Amino acid sequence: MKKIAAVLGLSVISAMAMAADPLNGTKWKTIDDATQKPMSVVEFKETSNGVLSAKIVDVFTPGEAESCVKCTGKYHNKPLKNLQIVSGLKNTGKNTYDGGKITDPKNGKTYSFNAKLSQDGKTLKGRGYIGVSALGRSQTWIRVN
């Protein structure tokens, strides 16, 4: 009986591990869309209900790691490192994600957010927007190994 329970337990854990989202636990170098310079590294985490969030784990721009002075609400004057900038992102299939929010530490504003993971998993194209996606700004992030 113990052996059966152990096998079933391992099967469930294996199935859960395989069901994890491809972005879960991955790190991405963010690239400034205007200067094309790296800004930070963000890491995605998946909640138990399959929703993704991402936080800044490293900042490349000297002097910008101290705090999010332009952010409002709970993020105001918080350190950029460990700042959650993506929330509520859901996998909609075929390497696409929607329904998220992204906070831009440069201006402190929060936007709707969608993203598409490349077929090879090396780039993530994200788009922050207000209202409709056509009225937004895109960035391509590069996967960090």
Is 11 a domain residue?
no
Q: Residue 17 has which token pair?
A: 């591990």
Q: Is the dihedral of CA 68, 72, 78, 82 positive or negative?
A: negative
Give residues with Cβ within 8 angstroms of 61, minimum separation 6: 39, 40
Full-prediction pTM beyond 0.85? no
Number of domains the chain contains: 1
> What is the predicted pLDDT for the residue at 18?
45
Is 49 a domain residue?
yes
Give the residue numbers spanning the domain of 71. 22-144
Is 73 a domain residue?
yes
Give the pLDDT mean for 8-33. Answer: 71
> What is the predicted pLDDT for the residue at 2?
58
Name the DSSP class of 118.
Answer: -
pLDDT per residue over 93-145, tens digit each?
999 999 999 998 888 889 999 999 999 999 999 999 998 888 899 999 999 98
Instruction: Give the domain CATH number at 28.
Output: 2.40.128.520
Is 140 a domain residue?
yes
Top pLDDT among 79 and 144 is at: 144
Is 9 a domain residue?
no
Is 2 a domain residue?
no
